[in-house]
């Protein structure tokens, strides 16, 4: 019988943030020379979700949604979960996932991602502005998110620029994704 190798682990500092001062209004969804469209995808196909998730998440060691079909579907197709995809000139440029019932009175921005080929287009602020508007539409008492030191280096400063304030941190070990 072959022994299965132990997965490599990488350490990450997780920062939990809450939105204390929401922006006055959402930024206009415009990018000169490009056509942008943001759609909520209520029953996103699992293969498409995995494509979006892995395209952005693999280099950052995202693992929370690497699940069998039935488990993944139960999470992302649950009534309080909202998945939105941003398109630029017809191609997926970014996406975000909200959980409007994370806990009593809390909405969480679970995932927020710009596709690698669209980094540098300054889409993250536009998309985050709309993610905040969509999250606040549920009228939560708390609007939160978590980011970690393995995420894109611009993530934490962007969240803070939009009014999210760090509440706590913790160190975790996550499986390293390779290949």
Range of the domain at 112: 17-171
User: Residue 81 falls within a domain, yes or no?
Assistant: yes
pLDDT per residue as tens digits for the range 54-89: 999 888 878 889 999 999 999 999 999 999 999 999
Residue 14 φ/ψ, nearest 5 degrees = -90, 130
User: Residue 67 falls within a domain, yes or no?
Assistant: yes
Q: How far apart are CA 62 and CA 155, in angstroms?
A: 14
User: Residue 1 falls within a domain, yes or no?
Assistant: no
User: Residue 57 falls within a domain, yes or no?
Assistant: yes
Cα angle 45, 175, 48 (rounded to 5 degrees) comes to: 10
Mean pLDDT calculated for residue range 161-175:
93
Longest dimension (CA), the chain: 61
Domain count, the chain: 1
User: Which CATH number does the domain housing residue 151 bear?
Assistant: 3.40.630.30
User: Residue 78 falls within a domain, yes or no?
Assistant: yes
User: Residue 47 falls within a domain, yes or no?
Assistant: yes
User: Residue 7 falls within a domain, yes or no?
Assistant: no
Supply the pTM of this predicted model: 0.91
Give the per-residue SS3 of 69-111.
HHHHHHHHCCCCEEEEEEEECCEEEEEEEEEEEEECCEEEEEE
Q: How far apart are CA 46 and CA 67, in angstroms?
A: 10
Q: Which of 41, 35, 44, 139 is nearest to 84 (CA)?
A: 41
Tokens 């969804």, residue? 29
pLDDT at 101: 84
Residue 69 φ/ψ, nearest 5 degrees = -45, -50
User: Residue 31 falls within a domain, yes or no?
Assistant: yes
pLDDT per residue as tens digits for the range 6-59: 678 889 999 999 998 888 777 888 899 999 999 999 999 999 999 999 999 888
Q: Which two tokens stand for residue 160?
A: 């803070």
Residue 60 three-state SS = helix
């Amino acid at each position: 019988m072959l022994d299965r190798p132990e997965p490599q682990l990488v350490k990450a500092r997780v920062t939990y943030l809450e939105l204390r001062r929401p922006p006055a209004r959402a930024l206009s969804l415009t990018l000169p020379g490009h056509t942008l469209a943001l759609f909520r995808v209520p029953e996103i196909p699992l293969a498409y979700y995995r494509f979006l998730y892995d395209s952005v998440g693999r280099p950052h060691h995202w693992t929370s949604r690497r699940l069998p079909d039935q488990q993944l579907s139960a999470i992302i197709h649950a009534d309080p979960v909202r998945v939105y995809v941003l398109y630029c000139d017809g191609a997926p440029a970014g996406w975000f996932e909200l959980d409007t019932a994370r806990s009593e009175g809390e909405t969480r921005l679970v995932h927020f991602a710009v596709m690698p080929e669209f980094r540098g287009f300054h889409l993250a602020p536009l998309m985050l502005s709309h993610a905040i508007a969509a999250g606040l539409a549920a009228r939560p008492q708390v609007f939160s998110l978590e980011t970690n030191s393995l995420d894109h280096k611009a993530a934490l400063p962007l969240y803070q620029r939009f009014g999210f304030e760090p509440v706590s941190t913790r160190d975790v070990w996550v499986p390293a994704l390779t290949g």
